[in-house]
């Protein structure tokens, strides 16, 4: 093992001593590092990653760096002294030979396998050169992850390097070394999987996620209390953050005094009332349960019983619209409860502005630690049966808000449209808690179905971020004018798979690209999202991809993934198609009072999503469909959504309301058979001929058609699988 020169030792002593004053590095897994030479492969976030790694490792590291940087006349003496290895695309083999020789001599060589700095904070495509070095050197590969550097002045957060104020000095950073991999094990898919797992470990260590959602909301509203926090689209009223906080505190103290129960229901759409009600329940030290008021009475009653609700917050107008709603014994009508509190609201409004955050939190009796305790309770849509209670902890909400904040990278003037209902997980986290905690303005409107009205609001208030589902996008195609959506910089869709034809139609009409994301109620909900492509800063510059058609984007920070066999749970490569399992601080704490279900989907910290997916080499996640939307026919997995797209193409059906869907029913001969539910007349022989002519396998062609009035869908736009399955089974009798 080569010994460092005297000059290198002096340089390391003074240089790293200075770096220790700026960075506080917490290191995990240092004991895993091999004694001899090996190849170190980190993620690449900032210009100072090499310094941070040197602080985390007691042995000298030989970094492979771009020759253009290496030859910098001011930095070259230092790079030369610490043994950096310059590399160019034209003379890459020379650098690789040097690296191999140094590893064989017992030294640590570090190569950033992404080959460039991340511009989004996510892991980029891993380049293959490292495989040759490891194989030729016959040395182990050690993955390492650097966390909490995104957002520093040396990262691209905010769309620029250097021209930012430091978040804090000293800056706290986490570095974790993974288990060494042999050269044969360290293929691209395995390395990405390991980096995601180590990244999830680092992310989960962040102290902020042990906090309390109430305290985080309080901090967000105290930040710039005179600035507009929300705009109510019903009457265009603007509410300052300080006023929102004052009203919520006044109501919270009333709830704490009068209602001793642990959970309180909320039956309100997005708007002033819904936001204040949720904040007040949390500030009162209780758990809000936003109920799906569009569900059947039986489903709502089931949710109330499971949650043990005795009190619901609503408004008199809402109560009149929901005549058949199963109201609890106690019903608080906000429009009647708040006016008598006018003096208290005014006092707390002033207090919210002038009192310190810590004092307000103490007055509200908000704990410092929330961590894994229940913060909110949501119920699944019941698309496949009885709604399940999904317990989301403070840790879940705080981490997913942080993850989404990194992805969105909100600008000062951003305005997010909040029209998704708060009982929907996307609406709850992304359009309720995210704007409050991150101090981003929100425009609320009670119904995402009123496309014409929403388009007018987007134009009038210059909304920049819109969240929708494919079902709602179809409504915009019919009812919105192209000019009305021109202020949007980010149009993202989730909840169901985005058809490529629908995305193309939206882009053709509005000139706006649709960015598909993916999430589940159980993941708080956001897992991955496509992002706008970055513009090159100079001619000829290659730009790392941030969006991929057909994919649901790259994984958000701090989420690990595995692909497993749907039947045996055997682990597969990330590049193979199989069941998607996830791990991260945003993964839910379990279903409410359902130990058997929890044991089935939660194993050793991993969550079985129920979705079939794969990753490509750039790290983009492709969701092939829900396992429940596959049929196993003759031993082959047959995807329902793919067949539906083929049928729509064969029948020349344009994007609009859903008119066909495929369901699987039991079949004694082949395991399952396909039934086509259709709200339009379809000639089965003609359809079979058209599908066969387009190359659809005979096994995939439905043998039964049932004409229905309409395809059952839920309020979120998702298929009502329970009703669809019932219709299909009746057709198969």
Indicate if the pLDDT at residue 130 is higher than 90.
no
With a cut of 70, say whether residue 20 has pLDDT above it: no
Rounded distance, CA 449 to CA 714, Å? Answer: 12
For residues 220 and 200, state if they share a domain. no
SS (H, E, C) 259-290: CCCCEEEECCCCCHHHHHHHHHHHHCCCEEEE
Neighbour-count burial for 328-344, b at 16+ CB within 10 Å, e otherwise: beeebbbeeebeebeeb
Check which CATH number belongs to the domain holding 162 and give it.
3.40.1130.10
pLDDT, average across residues 86-94: 76
The confidence band for 82, taking pLDDT boundaries of 50, 70 and 90, is low
CA-CA distance, 117 to 115, in Å (whole number)?
Answer: 7
The per-residue pLDDT for 502 is 83
Examine residue 541 and state whether it is found in any structural domain, yes or no.
no
Average pLDDT of 357-362?
A: 92
Q: What is the pLDDT of residue 464?
A: 93
Q: Can you say how many angstroms the Cα of residue 140 is from the centroid of all Cα atoms in its chain?
A: 33
Average pLDDT for residues 247-257, to the nearest whole number?
A: 94
pLDDT of 226: 92
Residue 398 sits in a domain of what CATH number? 3.40.50.12780
Domain end position, chosen among 205, 239, 274: 205
For residue 101, being part of any structural domain is answered with yes
What value does the mean pLDDT take over residues 599-620?
90
Q: Is position 166 within any domain?
A: yes
Instruction: Examine the fold and report which residue of 152, 180, 205 is the final residue of a domain before the chain moves on.
Output: 205
- pLDDT value for 16: 59
The pLDDT value recorded for residue 690 is 83
User: Do 59 and 120 fall within a single domain?
Assistant: yes
- 431-440 residue pLDDT tens: 899 999 999 9
Are the beta carbons of 692 and 671 closer than 8 angstroms? no
* Domain co-membership, 199 together with 219: no
Judge whether 627 lies within some domain: no
146 backbone dihedrals φ, ψ, rounded to 5°: -105, 125
- Averaged pLDDT for residues 650-667: 78
Q: Is 142 exposed, middle or buried (0-12, 13-18, 19+ CB in 10 A)?
A: buried
Phi and psi torsions of 130, nearest 5°: -65, -30
The residue range of the domain holding 476 is: 213-532+549-614
Indicate which CATH number applies to the domain containing 688. 3.30.300.30
**Residue 543 above 90 pLDDT?**
no
Do residues 193 and 307 share a domain?
A: no
Instruction: Tell whether the torsion through CA atoms of 252, 255, 260 and 265 is positive or negative.
Output: negative
Final residue of a structural domain among 205, 225, 242: 205
DSSP label of 535: P
Contacts of residue 453, Cβ cutoff 8 Å, sequence gap at least 6: 233, 445
Q: What is the mean pLDDT of residues 190-206?
A: 92
Enter the tokens of residue 231: 């705009």
Tell me, yes or no, whether 263 and 316 share the same domain: yes
At residue 141, does pLDDT exceed 80? yes
pLDDT tier at 655, thresholds 50, 70, 90: low
Domain co-membership, 348 together with 235: yes
Query: pLDDT category, 86, cuts 50, 70, 90?
Result: confident
Verify that 586 and 521 share a domain, yes or no.
yes
| Integer Cα distance of 21 and 27 in angstroms | 16
Q: Which residues of 90-113 are buried (b: 16+ CB within 10 A; e: fewer)?
A: eeeeebbebbbebbeeebbbbbbb
**Mean pLDDT of the region 651-666:** 78
Query: Does 424 fall in a domain?
Result: yes
Of 673 and 416, more confident: 416
The stretch 647-675 carries a mean pLDDT of: 78
Size (the chain), residues: 733
More confident position, 333 or 64: 333
pLDDT digits (tens, 9 = 90+) for 377-414: 999 865 545 788 999 999 999 999 999 988 888 888 89
Residue 442, in any domain of the structure: yes
- Beta-bridge mates of residue 623: 613
Give the pLDDT confidence score for residue 280 in this predicted structure: 96
Of 705, 664, 670, 663, the residue nearest 687 (C-alpha): 705
Note whether residue 273 is domain-resident: yes
| CA pair distance 268, 325, nearest whole angstrom | 13
Q: 109 or 212: whose pLDDT is higher? A: 212
Q: Which pairs from 506-514 meet CB under 8 Å and 24+ separation?
A: 506/473, 506/476, 506/477, 509/477, 509/482, 510/476, 510/480, 510/482, 510/485, 510/486, 511/482, 511/486, 512/485, 512/488, 513/547, 514/473
648 and 719 co-located in one domain: yes
Residues 187 and 238 in one domain: no
The H or E element spanning position 601 is helix 595-601
Q: What is the per-residue DSSP string for 350-377?
A: HHHHHS-HHHHHHHTT--S--TTSEEEE
Mean pLDDT to the nearest integer, 601-605: 91
The chain-wide mean pLDDT, for the chain, equals 85
Quick: pLDDT tens for 477-527: 888 888 888 899 988 888 777 888 888 888 888 888 989 999 888 999 999
Q: Which two tokens stand for residue 500?
A: 């490529």
Supply the pLDDT for residue 245.
94
42 and 131 assigned to the same domain:
yes
State how many domains the chain has: 3
Q: What is the mean pLDDT of residues 58-80?
A: 74
The whole-angstrom distance between residue 107's C-alpha and the CA centroid of its chain comes to: 39
Q: Is residue 629 part of a domain?
A: no
Same domain membership, residue 327 and residue 473: yes
* Residues 438-447, mean pLDDT to the nearest whole number: 91
Q: Quick one: which of 326, 273, 275 has its CA closest to 304? A: 326
Tell me: do 441 and 468 sit in the same domain.
yes
């Amino acid at each position: 093992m080569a010994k460092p020169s005297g000059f290198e030792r002096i340089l390391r002593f003074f240089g790293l001593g200075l770096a220790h004053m700026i960075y506080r590095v917490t290191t995990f897994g240092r004991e895993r590092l091999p004694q001899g030479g090996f190849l170190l492969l980190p993620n690449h976030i900032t210009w100072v990653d090499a310094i941070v790694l040197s602080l985390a490792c007691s042995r000298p590291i030989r970094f492979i760096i771009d020759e253009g940087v290496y030859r910098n006349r001011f930095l070259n003496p230092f790079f030369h002294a610490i043994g950096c290895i310059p590399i160019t695309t034209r003379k890459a083999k020379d650098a690789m030979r040097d690296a191999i020789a140094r590893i064989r001599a017992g030294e640590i060589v570090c190569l950033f396998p992404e080959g460039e700095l991340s511009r989004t904070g996510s892991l980029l495509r891993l380049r293959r050169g490292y495989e040759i070095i490891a194989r030729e050197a016959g040395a182990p590969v050690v993955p390492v992850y650097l966390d909490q550097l995104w957002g520093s002045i040396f990262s691209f957060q905010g769309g620029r390097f250097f021209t930012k104020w430091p978040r804090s000095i000293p800056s706290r950073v986490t570095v974790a070394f993974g288990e060494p991999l042999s050269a044969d094990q360290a293929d691209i898919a395995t390395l990405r999987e390991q980096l995601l797992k180590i990244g999830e470990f680092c992310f989960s260590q962040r102290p902020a996620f042990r906090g309390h959602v109430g305290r985080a909301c309080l901090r967000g509203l105290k930040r710039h209390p005179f600035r507009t926090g929300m705009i109510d689209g019903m009457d265009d009223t603007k509410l300052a953050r300080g006023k929102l906080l004052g009203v919520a505190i006044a109501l919270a103290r009333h709830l704490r005094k009068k209602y001793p129960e642990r959970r309180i229901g909320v039956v309100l759409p997005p708007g002033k009332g819904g936001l204040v009600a949720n904040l007040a329940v949390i500030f009162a030290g209780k758990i809000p349960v936003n109920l799906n008021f569009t569900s059947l009475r039986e489903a709502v009653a089931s949710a109330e019983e499971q949650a043990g609700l005795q009190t619901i917050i609503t408004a008199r107008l809402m109560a009149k619209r929901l005549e058949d709603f199963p109201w609890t014994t106690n019903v608080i009508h906000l429009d009647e409860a708040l006016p008598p509190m006018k003096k208290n609201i005014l006092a707390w409004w002033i207090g919210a502005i002038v009192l310190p955050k810590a004092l307000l939190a103490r007055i509200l009796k908000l704990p410092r630690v929330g961590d894994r305790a229940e913060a909110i309770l949501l119920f699944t849509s019941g698309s496949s049966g009885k709604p399940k209670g999904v317990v989301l902890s403070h840790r879940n909400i705080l981490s997913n808000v942080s993850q989404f904040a990194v992805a969105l990278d909100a600008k000062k003037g951003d305005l997010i449209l909040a029209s998704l209902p708060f009982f929907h997980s996307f609406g709850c986290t992304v359009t309720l808690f995210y704007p409050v905690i991150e101090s981003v303005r929100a425009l609320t409107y009670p119904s995402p179905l009123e496309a014409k009205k929403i388009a007018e609001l987007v134009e009038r208030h210059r909304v920049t971020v819109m969240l929708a589902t494919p079902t709602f996008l179809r409504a915009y195609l019919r009812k919105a004018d192209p000019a009305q959506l021109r202020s949007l910089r980010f149009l993202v869709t989730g909840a169901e798979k985005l058809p490529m034809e629908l995305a193309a139609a939206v882009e053709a009409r509005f000139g706006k690209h649709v960015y598909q994301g993916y999430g589940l109620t159980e993941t708080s909900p956001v897992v991955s999202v496509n992002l706008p492509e970055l513009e090159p800063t100079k001619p000829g510059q290659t730009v790392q991809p941030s969006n991929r058609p057909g994919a649901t984007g790259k994984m958000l920070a701090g989420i690990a993934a595995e692909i497993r066999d749907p039947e045996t749970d055997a682990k597969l490569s990330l590049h193979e198609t199989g069941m998607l399992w996830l791990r991260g601080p945003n993964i839910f704490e379990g279903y409410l009072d359902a130990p058997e279900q929890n044991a089935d989907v939660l194993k050793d910290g991993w969550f079985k999503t129920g979705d079939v997916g794969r990753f490509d080499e750039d790290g983009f996640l492709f969701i092939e469909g829900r396992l429940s939307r596959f049929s196993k026919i003759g031993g082959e997995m047959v995807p329902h959504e793919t067949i539906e797209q083929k049928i729509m193409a064969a029948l020349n059906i344009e994007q609009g309301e859903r008119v066909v869907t495929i369901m699987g029913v039991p079949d004694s001969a082949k395991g399952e058979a396909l039934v086509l539910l259709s709200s339009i007349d379809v000639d089965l022989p003609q359809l079979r001929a058209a599908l066969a002519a387009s190359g659809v396998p005979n096994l995939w062609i439905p043998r039964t058609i049932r004409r229905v009035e309409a395809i059952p869908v839920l309020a979120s736009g998702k298929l009502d699988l329970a009703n669809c399955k019932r219709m299909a089974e009746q057709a198969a009798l």
